[in-house]
Amino acid sequence: MCDSNEPVKQDDIREAYFDKMGIPFCKVENENTDSNENVQDSKQMLALEKAHDIRKFEIELFWKRGTYFWAFILASYTAYFFTLSFNKENLFSSEIIILVLLCVTSFLGFFFSYSWLLVNKGSKYWQKNWELHIDCLEQEITGNLHKTFLDTAKNGCESSPFSVAPYDYSVSKVTTIGSLVMTVLGFCIFAMQLFFTVGALLSVPMEIHLAISLAIVVFLCLGIAAMTEWLKGNVHSSNEIHFIRHELGNVAADSSNSNNGNRQNN
């Protein structure tokens, strides 16, 4: 975003941004000038339309991905609690199979919850990426439309959850918190089930039993941490993307701190 409180710095960063994008920088001093007509057919206009389209596409994918992961999470915990409550003598001949199945299904519930959390964060990143593009492209075309928000202090908005009045809560943050809670609960269920399974399968003292359970949990956590690191994007290798995300983002930080929560996935 471009800080309207610092016009000189804003123009400098926008000019550098346009240079990186290969778009002629057309600063319009007077809205009645002919240059404002020319910009309608420029790369800037096309880039703005494309940025809006991709942002809308990312928001649609945000909710579609959530539905996708909810299906896997629900299936995992349905299988877990069904196995937990089912009369095992009628289904399996060995108790070991029951215990292993409970561990596997509880781990899958945790794994899909954690994956959902990462996907939520990734979706929000790309949405914010295209919002930054829009903020710098829209000035000469639509003005500050994308950067103008309803003042919650003067328009009948109410932050209380017990009020029916609207408020600028971030829908994406609420969803991300929900996925974080599911991840923590999933980890607790899996760790508890693993503890009981190791205790039932191994006739060892409690100290050894606890050590083995912790070792397995630590090993899995290290594996998930390595997977998380591997799943990170490689956009850092591109100078253009690095410029947009970091230099432009840093300029926008001062002005966006007060209204970051206003942008929501509707």
- Burial degree of 37 (CB within 10 A; 0-12, 13-18, 19+): exposed
> Full-prediction pTM beyond 0.75?
no
CA dist 159 to 44, 147, 153, 232, 259, Å?
A: 38, 21, 10, 35, 15
Q: Compare 156 and 175 and report the one with higher pLDDT.
A: 175
**Half-sphere exposure (Cβ direction) of 76: Cα atoms closer than 13 Å:** 21
pLDDT tens, residue by residue, 187-228: 999 998 888 888 777 777 777 878 888 888 888 888 888 888
The single-letter code of the amino acid at 5 is: N
Indicate the pLDDT class of residue 89, thresholds 50, 70 and 90: low
Q: Which of 143-147, 152-156, 174-178, 243-247 has the lowest mean pLDDT?
A: 243-247
pLDDT of residue 92: 43
Phi/psi class of residue 74: alpha, beta or left (left: φ > 0; alpha: ψ in -120 to 50)? alpha
